[in-house]
Amino acid sequence: MQKYADKKLELFFGFSKLDHTDIYDNNDKPLFKRCIKKFGALEYDEMFGFVPALAISDNASIKNIDKMNIFVHLNLLPDLIEIQYIDFKKLGQMAFGVENSSTLPDLDNLK
């Protein structure tokens, strides 16, 4: 059963390996396997989350992680940050570190 669950998880993440999708702590050590060891396996409606959330804290430590209801946590997270709407030029600036957007194509008005 565990092998089947692992395969479904791998397919869900687009054939990614767990270490490619893991979150790292402040010391660049992966957290997921340590969370499983500390808290046990997750149920279908659970996730590991930072307390306080990383959106308002930069302390990515296993000491700040707890098991929580995935639906409640994911509904609360957007309230912690200001949602920023990004057009294609802004996305290009962020992706390529370009300060002057005049050098980027106007992807919002493609013809």
Q: Check pLDDT > 70 for residue 101.
A: no
φ/ψ of 42, rounded to 5, equals -85, 145
Averaging pLDDT over each range in 45-49, 75-79, 84-88, 93-97, which range is the top one?
45-49
**Positive or negative: CA dihedral 23, 25, 30, 36:** negative
Query: What residue segments make up the domains of the chain, in order of their start?
Result: 24-103
Contact 66, 48 (CB under 8 A): yes
- Give the pLDDT of residue 103: 64
Q: What are the pLDDT digits (tens) for 1-20?
A: 556 566 665 666 555 566 66
Peptide bond into 52 cis (omega under 30): yes
Contact 51, 65 (CB under 8 A): yes
CA 60 to CA 109: how far, in whole Å? 40
- Give the pLDDT of residue 91: 76
Q: What are the pLDDT digits (tens) for 29-74?
A: 999 999 999 999 999 999 999 999 988 888 999 999 999 999 999 9
Q: Check pLDDT > 90 for residue 96.
A: no
Q: Check pLDDT > 80 for residue 84.
A: no
